[in-house]
Amino acid sequence: MILVGITGIIGSGKTTVSSMLSQEGIPVIDLDRLGKEVTDYEEVVGDIEEAFGADYIVNKKADIAKLREIAFVDTETRRKLENIIHPRAGAELWKRIERLKTEGASVVIVDAPLLYETGLHKLLDKVVVVSAEMDKIMERLKLRGMDEEDTSRRLPHQIPLSEKEKMADHILYNNGTEEDLRKGLRALLIRIKEWEVSSSCT
């Protein structure tokens, strides 16, 4: 089995590509979603309350929106939150990978926005970066209702796309139409098959 990471930056189209790969029958583990899931764990809720106070707990669950607001403003707060969530999300990730391996999966996609930032790429076989021109990214974020202030708070916490591209095993550019992206996806599927064959021969 090979593990393929999918990453990019906010607005580059990583989630869309992961969804397309899932539609092709390839199992995808969304680490962002996994992070949100583990915040409901009783011990995580307890750790968040201890670290940030009862104001960040609503109906015995962590207030994700409130935590996200402070995480993008203060580096120390973000690190404190990551130290609570990332180890649990990581443990759950490997449990799911093992389960998929047992079920006979030959390829698993790990969708992670902070793949390089957290060092997770070192534990995977290959990495795909979904890239796009910044003007396209800003346009998409505006359509999502994200203002420039919110964008400028989030982007500095991510390694620039140009740097991620240099480290990638494959780059999928997302500057055109959905059909253009699907053409790129077909090329990626061929590449994944090549990686799979190469892995089975070693």
The stretch 6-13 carries a mean pLDDT of: 94
Supply the CATH number for residue 138's domain.
Answer: 3.40.50.300
- Of the candidates 99, 114, 111, 190, which has an alpha carbon nearest to the alpha carbon of residue 157? 114
What's the domain range around 8? 2-201
pLDDT tens digits for 136-183? 998 888 888 877 777 777 777 789 999 999 999 999 999 999 999 999
pTM score, two decimals? 0.91
pLDDT tens digits for 12-22? 999 999 999 99
- How many domains would you assign to the chain? 1
Q: Is the pLDDT reported for residue 202 higher than 70? A: no
The stretch 126-132 carries a mean pLDDT of: 97
Residue 54's Cβ-side half-sphere holds a number of Cα atoms within 13 Å equal to 1
Burial of 80 (C-beta count, 10 Å sphere; 0-12/13-18/19+): middle
